[in-house]
Structure 1
Amino acid sequence: MESKDVGFFAVVAVLGIISAATGFAGEATKIKASEVYILANSCIYPSSPALALGIVAAVFTIINRIYISVTFGGCSCCRNDPNSTPISKLLAVLSWVATVIAVSLLLTAAGLNNREGGQIDSYGYITCYVVKPGIFAAGAVLALLSAVFAIAAYITLTPAPQPTTTNPAVAFPVGTNVDLEKNPVQYPPQHKAVGFCAVVAVLGIISAAAGFAGEATRVKASEIYILTDSCVYPSSPALALGIIAAVFTIINRIYISVTFGGCSCCRNDPNSTPISKLLAVLSWVATVIAVCLLLAAAGLNNKEGGQVDSYGYFTCYVVKPGIFATGAVLALLSAVFGIGAYITLTPATQTTTTNPAIAFPAGTNVDPEKNPVQYPPQHYPPQKY
């Protein structure tokens, strides 16, 4: 096993363990129903580090996914990689699915754990909001499984064949002269840039549109009614729109990474340029920030309740303006940077060598080193002196 393989396994394992540990810590420190006090029809919550732990676990899970993708192309599960196998492709897809679900669960649990307030049930009792048990733990398990699947996907890759410098002997028919300049070698077609750009652009537009729709339909302070120190909130589709925008942003990031390896910004790709590497990194950063903003805005928009300020006035919780819109802009920029990174890749060079046209007997394989070409003697007319 090479040293780079050991380094890859070590980094992925450590990041996965950190994500799982912080996720389980969030499960242990989350606010429980027995810790909430009800005073004068108001829910009093204790302080809890579960919000920070959930965000840290989600961030480390995303960092682990970024490292896997930009270092080894996410095992190339959707590319025509000659080293990939059906098992490695399946494990790579499972790693991506586990990552997306883990991040969603961890951020959702963190947001719901910070939600305060309650409601009166049909029997006249007030119930306080608490996050259900097991959500942090499920996200932690999936974050660890994401790392395990990624390591297994890389292990199941077939080793790359060693290149040889010996050119195969080619048989030419009798009397044929092959000119490689007039008859170029036909190479297999490359990925179509137009299709890639179109898919990335459509997914980016959908993400941005859903984010801006969430900004337009979020709950505003002027729409909330205060009734006997209780906040009455109207219904709003901003929660669903924020989640949809985040999901499409993640799908777009997955498509870019597994189709073209994220422009190989951290790999020794001969086609990459400094500009493409910079744009690829910017695309990743924009994606991570956009997903965090969209999910945070969606969770905060669904947070109900209020508190008495220092002046004695009762204020209700609302999400601040601009968070949905900022996430939408970054989701669109992520797609733009991804397209720009691919466009700025240098085209793969195809080298051809022009050999002199030589006629060989039919069905023979000639090695010029062992059997140098014997040119026929030249005949000159006799000279008279």
Structure 2
Amino acid sequence: METGVFVVSAVVGLFAVASAVLGFIAEEKKLTPEDIDVSSGECEYPANAAFVLGICAVLLLAVAQIIVSSVAGCCGCCRPRAGASESRRVTGIVCSVFSWIAAIVAGVSFVQGAAWNAPVTRDTAPLCYYLKDGVFRRAAVLSLAAAVFGIKSYIMLRAATAVEPKPDGQQPQPQQAPAAPVVTGYPPQGYAPNQQFTAAADQVYGQGPSALYPPTKGYGQV
């Protein structure tokens, strides 16, 4: 695994785990019916640690999602398509969508849990509503799922663009051996005729006297 991928995965995972841990703790610290007081026809909810834990958990979750979405290129929409592996790109986008769905549901659950553990007074007596079990726990599990999908999306989108062409759009071309010259006639192209050979050939075939081979005898008609 590359150093950059490892660092991003570790940071996102750390924020997600911290958010999940706070969620599990808030589940144990949330208000129970015995903690709620009824006074003058109003339900008084005391200060509770689950309120602060829920707020901190949703903030950590938001930071994790922002980081992984930024490095992944806005769910893959901001990354170039040229040269990218389409199957990996689609898988990365799908994982990113699942990550955001899980993060949104987790965030809503965290906010809901924090709201019902806030130190307020509600005019609902004699019915004093309280948070049911499992809300913070569900949010904690979804936080981890969102981080897993987000990291998976980042890795797939990064792998999809690893085969992209160079910035100038030029790919290295394989070197080819130079083609051999084609001979189309005599003499070959690019060569000058040999003057001595031409003169000798002219004498042999009767095309004229040659200075290289002068006649040794003369003949006359009687």
Question: How high is the TM-score relative to the length of structure 1?
Answer: 0.40
CA contact (8 A) 2:31 2:117 kept: yes
* Structure 2 counterpart SS, 1:132: coil
Q: Return the alpha-carbon distance in structure 2 between the equivalents of residues 91 and 167 of structure 1.
A: 34
CA contact (8 A) 1:77 1:90 kept: no
Query: Compared with structure 1, are the counterparts of its residues 78 and 34 closer, same or farther at alpha carbon in structure 2 (3 Å cutoff)?
Result: farther
Structure 2 unaligned blocks of 5 or more = 182-188, 191-222
Query: Compared with structure 1, are the counterparts of its residues 167 and 30 closer, same or farther at alpha carbon in structure 2 (3 Å cutoff)?
Result: same
Q: Return the alpha-carbon distance in structure 2 between the equivalents of residues 166 and 10 of structure 1.
A: 35
The one-letter amino acid of 1:2's match is: E
- Count of matched residue positions in the alignment of Structure 1 and Structure 2: 173
* Structure 2 counterpart SS, 1:133: coil
Q: Return the alpha-carbon distance in structure 1 between the equivalents of residues 123 and 137 of structure 2.
A: 24
> In the alignment, which of 157, 160, 163 is matched to residue 161 of structure 1?
163
Q: Return the alpha-carbon distance in structure 1 between the equivalents of residues 74 and 171 of structure 2.
A: 33
* Structure 1 counterpart SS, 2:127: strand
* Structure 2 counterpart SS, 1:101: helix
| Alignment correspondent of 2:115 | 111
Shift of 1:48: 0.4
The one-letter amino acid of 1:130's match is: Y
* Structure 2 counterpart SS, 1:127: coil
CA RMSD of aligned residues (A): 3.0
Of structures 1 and 2, the larger Rg is shown by 2
Q: Return the alpha-carbon distance in structure 2 between the equivalents of residues 76 and 31 of structure 1.
A: 42
Query: Compared with structure 1, are the counterparts of its residues 7 and 76 closer, same or farther at alpha carbon in structure 2 (3 Å cutoff)?
Result: same
Deviations 1:56-76 (A, max 9, x none): 111111101111112221451
Q: Return the alpha-carbon distance in structure 1 between the equivalents of residues 46 and 68 of structure 2.
A: 38
Tell me which of the two structures has the higher relative contact order, counting C-alpha pairs closer than 8 angstroms and 6 or more residues apart.
Answer: 2
Deviations 1:137-184 (A, max 9, x none): 222211111001112223444451275776448xxxxxxxxxxxxxxx
Shift of 1:116: 2.9
Deviates more, 1:46-55 or 1:156-165: 156-165
Shift of 1:37: 2.7
Identity percentage of aligned residues: 30
CA contact (8 A) 1:118 1:127 kept: no
> In the alignment, which of 87, 99, 123 is matched to residue 103 of structure 2?
99
The one-letter amino acid of 1:109's match is: G
Shift of 1:107: 1.5
* Structure 1 counterpart SS, 2:97: helix
Structure 1 unaligned blocks of 5 or more = 121-125, 170-365, 378-385
Shift of 1:40: 4.3
Q: Return the alpha-carbon distance in structure 2 between the equivalents of residues 20 and 7 of structure 1.
A: 20
Q: Return the alpha-carbon distance in structure 2 between the equivalents of residues 135 and 8 of structure 1.
A: 29
The one-letter amino acid of 2:28's match is: A
Question: How high is the TM-score relative to the length of structure 2?
Answer: 0.66
The one-letter amino acid of 1:127's match is: L
| Alignment correspondent of 1:42 | 42
> In the alignment, which of 86, 89, 98 is matched to residue 85 of structure 1?
89
The one-letter amino acid of 1:59's match is: L
CA contact (8 A) 2:42 2:121 kept: no
